[in-house]
Amino acid sequence: LASPIKLSISRNICKRRLSSNSLGISFPSEVTIVEVGPRDGLQNEKTIIPTQVKVELIDRLSNTGLKFIESASFVSERYVPQMGDHSKVMSQIKRKSGVMYPVLTPNMKGFEGALSANCEEVAVFAAASEGFSKANLNCTIEESFQRFVPLCEAAKEKNIRIRGYVSCVLGCPYDGYIQPQVVADVSKKLLDMGCYQVSLGDTIGIGNPGSTDSMLSVVKEQIPKELLAVHFHDTYGQALANILVALQHGISVVDSSVAGLGGCPFAKGATGNVATEDVVYMLHGMNISTGVDLNELVKVGEFISSYLGRDINSRVANALIAKRK
């Protein structure tokens, strides 16, 4: 049965009008951005980032108009050392009214930690690839679902929202090509277990508009578009084009990372997530509302990139910064 939370969110998304451009192609009139920089963006950094820097990053993002900021991962410090201070981060951020701060919880131990940190939303991670599931979660796809059963039951009991992720929807570093039907089946299982939404992740950024269209066409045969989000890495420079395809399919939730931060410790060669600045610029140019202040977002990207000592991985941010000078 669909939970009240899932139905409520579905109704809200269903209310979004579809706007048409001069070519007669329909797009959502508004898109929700799920900012994943503080978690997915930073998890692959080799040098441990101080807790106060992570907290400041999240607090700055809270003032840009973003409504969803994925803030930490309650995983073993042994496997992802960068996320070892998850509880400290969640206890020190200034939670802003109307903003959700979801955290990743791969198992019951992680969920219990998130509960102790007063988290209101958690995320679980499955894979469309057996090879990636074994590398990332140290278990098969089916075994990962067995782990999620007590977690999902506990979340429902505590009225904690659960978001689902599916990794490697367009290709895997271990198994290669992924059948779209497998993506659909894994996504449906996550929804059946209580997730209010499933984010489809191109973990290694290998997808293109053609493969994205084929995958979404199959997934939507089983799952309403209102329950789907997309999460693209930009390894081959295809992320914005893939997001455009997802918009044409009526999907109105997009994951992205400020300054294009990211990578995956279990997917060699995967570069950063698509930059939130680039996504927001594209959407605003299409008259699609996001509620995000692009100029403030660029400043946040400058802050974290300056701390990391690297160039901002966003063409839009770099162009706007150059314009200021």
* Catalytic residue numbers, as ranges: 264
Q: Which residues pair with 232 in a beta bridge?
A: 202
Q: How far apart are CA 267 and CA 134, in angstroms?
A: 12
| Distance of alpha carbon 195 from alpha carbon 136, whole angstroms | 20
Quote the distance between the C-alpha of residue 62 and its chain's center: 16
Q: Which of 73, 138, 137 is nearest to 101 (CA)?
A: 73
Across the chain, where does the E strand assignment appear? 18-20, 26-28, 32-35, 68-69, 72-73, 103-104, 121-127, 161-167, 197-202, 228-232, 253-256
The C-alpha atoms of residue 206 and residue 234 are separated, in whole angstroms, by 8
Tokens, residue 132: 């990636």
Q: How far is CA 125 from CA 66, 188, 238, 307, in A?
A: 23, 13, 23, 29
| Residue 218 DSSP symbol | H
